[in-house]
Amino acid sequence: MTDIDVTVIGGGAAGLMAAVSAARCGARTRVIEHMDRIGKKILSTGNGKCNYTNAVQGLSCYRGENPAFVLPVFEQFGQEDTVRLFEELGIYPKIKNGYYYPASEQAVSVVEVFGMECDYLGVDLWTSCGLQSIQKTCTGYEIRTTKGAFSTKTVIFAPGLLAAPKTGSDGSAFPYIEALGHHFVDVVPALVQLHGKQAFFKKLAGIRAEMQVTLYLENAQFQPKGSRGTARGENPDAVCSERGELQLTASGISGIPVFQISRYATRALADEKHPYVLIDFAPDLTDKEFFDLLSERFYENTHGKSAGEALIGLFNRKLSEVLLSEAGIRSELYAGEVARATLHRLVKCVKNFRVDITGSNGMEAAQVCAGGVDTEEIEATTLASKLADGIYFAGEIIDIDGTCGGYNLQWAWTSGYIAGEMQQRKECQNRDDTDQSDKNAAASRCGSTGTENQKTSGTFGRTGASLPDYQKIH
C-alpha cells in the first residue's frame, strides 16, 4: 500500500482547490475522480466562460440552514484571495459588472491551470476511479478503489451533490459520508427553471421581460434562512422576491430571478407545501400609477382602439392576450366600454399574475443543489468533521449554496482552500504540541512548569509569520 497524506474525493472546483492547497503545504496528495477527467462541471459554468467569482460579496449571497456558517471560512480566504491565487495560476480576470471571467473567456482555461498546478506539485490525479470502501485505521483511513488500495491520513470530501449528474455529481459518495455518522439536509434542485400549473404558458413561450417575481406558500408561514428577497421587508408573508429578466417557457418560468428563488420553491415542494409566485409585469409603477396609465389609454386616448390595441406598446402581444383573458376582457371589445371595476381587475392581473408551482426541471438541469451535509456536524473554522477525525468537507457537499453570479464557485474555492490548508496547520500544531511537551518535560525536571515568561507560538492563520511565501497572498 502507498501512504498518502491527503486524499480528495472529487475532482471538481472544490476538490481541485483543496488538492492544490494541501499539496502547496507539502502534503502528499491524491485526487479520486470517478469521471474520465477532472473539472467537467467547471466547463459548463458561466455558459462555458466560467464566472469564477464576483466582486460583490456578503452573507445574503449564500443560503442554507445556517448561512452564517460561511463567515469564519471567508474571513480566512475570501474573494480577493481567490483573484490573487487565480492570477498566480495564470488566470487573468476579465471583469463585467463585478462578474469575474478568465480573460480567455474559456472555462477550460480554469481546468487546465489547475491540472498544470497539480502536475507541478506532484498531485496524483486518479480519474475513472471508483470508490469501493473507506475504513478507519489507527493512523487514518484505508481507501479501496477500482485502481487499488492505499492508506491516507486525511480525507477531504468534495464530490458535489446531485446537480448535473452527467458531470460527475451523482451522489455516489453519500453512503461513505453517512457511514461516518454524518447526516444530510434534504437535497433539492436549486438555480433551476420552475414549472407552472396554468395552461396559458404554451401561449407565452419565448417572452422575455423585466419583471418582479415573489414566492409565497399557500396557507403557510415560511421564512427562509439566508434569503436575499426584498419583498420580505415589504410583505412579511412573502418567502422571497427577485427582480430581473424573466423568461416565460412552454411549461413555466425561467431566468435569473427564477433561479434565485427556485431553491425555496423546490424545498417547499419536497416538504409537500404549495408554492406559488406572483409576477409583477410593471414593477416600476404602483397599482395606482398603473391604473392611471391604463385609464388614459382606455378612456382618454382611445381613438377607436379595442382593448387589445390599447395595450400595444406596453406588453408583448401574446402576453396582452393572456392578461386580458385572465381579467375577463375580450380583446376585440372597444376600450372605452371596459368598466372601471374591470380595469382594476386587469391591474391586479398585471401586478399580481399568479403562477402555481408544480415542479422544476430537476437535477439534470439544475446548476447546483440546496441541502448537503449538515453544518452542525462540521467545524466552521476548519471544515473538519465533528464526528470523525481526519475527515474534511468542501464545496457543494456542505449545506451551503450561493445565488447566481459566481457565488457557488467562490464557495468551492474558499472551502476547498481552507480544507486543504488545514493539513499545514495540523502539522504545525502537532509540531508545536510536541515542542511544548518537550519544554514542559524539561521544565518539570528543573522544578518549573515552564509557562512563566513563555511566548505563545504563532497560530498559522492567514497573517501568521510562519506561513510559506506562497500562502501570503493577502
Strand partners, 366: none
In 10 A of CB 243, how many CB atoms? 18
Q: How far apart are CA 368 and CA 130, in angstroms?
A: 22
pLDDT at res. 170: 95
Domains annotated for the chain, with CATH where assigned, are: 2-189+367-426 (3.50.50.60), 194-360 (no CATH)
Render pLDDT for 349-362 as a digit per residue (tens, 0 to 9): 999 999 999 999 99
pTM: 0.85
The vertex-12 CA angle with 11 and 14, nearest 5°, equals: 105
pLDDT at res. 143: 97
Give 198-233 as a DSSP string.
-TTHHHHTT-EEEEEEEEEETT-----TT---SHHH
* Residues ≥6 apart with Cβ < 8 Å to 385: 180, 182, 377, 378, 379, 391, 392, 393
pLDDT at res. 302: 81
Side chain identity at residue 59, one-letter code: L
Asked if 183 and 378 count as a contact pair (C-beta separation under 8 A), the reply is no
pLDDT at res. 44: 93
Q: Helix, strand, or coil here: 247?
A: strand
In 10 A of CB 163, how many CB atoms? 25
Q: How far apart are CA 358 and CA 377, in angstroms?
A: 33
Q: How far apart are CA 275 and CA 237, in angstroms?
A: 12
Q: How far is CA 301 from CA 310, 311, 320, 332, 346, in A?
A: 9, 12, 18, 17, 18
pLDDT at res. 423: 73
Task: Specify the pairing of strand 148-157 against strand 2-9.
Answer: parallel
Taking 70 as the pLDDT cut, the residues of the chain under it are 1-2, 220-236, 424-474
pLDDT at res. 163: 96
- Kindly report the three-state secondary structure assignment for every residue of 317-342: HHHHHHHHHHCCCCCCCEHHHCCHHH
pLDDT at res. 230: 39
How many residues in the chain? 474
To the nearest 10 degrees (0 to 180), the angle between helices 107-121 and 13-24 is 30
Phi, psi of 38 (to 5 degrees): -80, 155
pLDDT at res. 412: 98
- The grid coordinates of residue 95 equal 471583469
User: Closest Cα partner for 258 from 196, 322, 320?
Assistant: 196
* Residues ≥6 apart with Cβ < 8 Å to 402: 61, 62, 63, 368, 408, 410, 411
Structural Rg of the chain based on CA atoms: 27
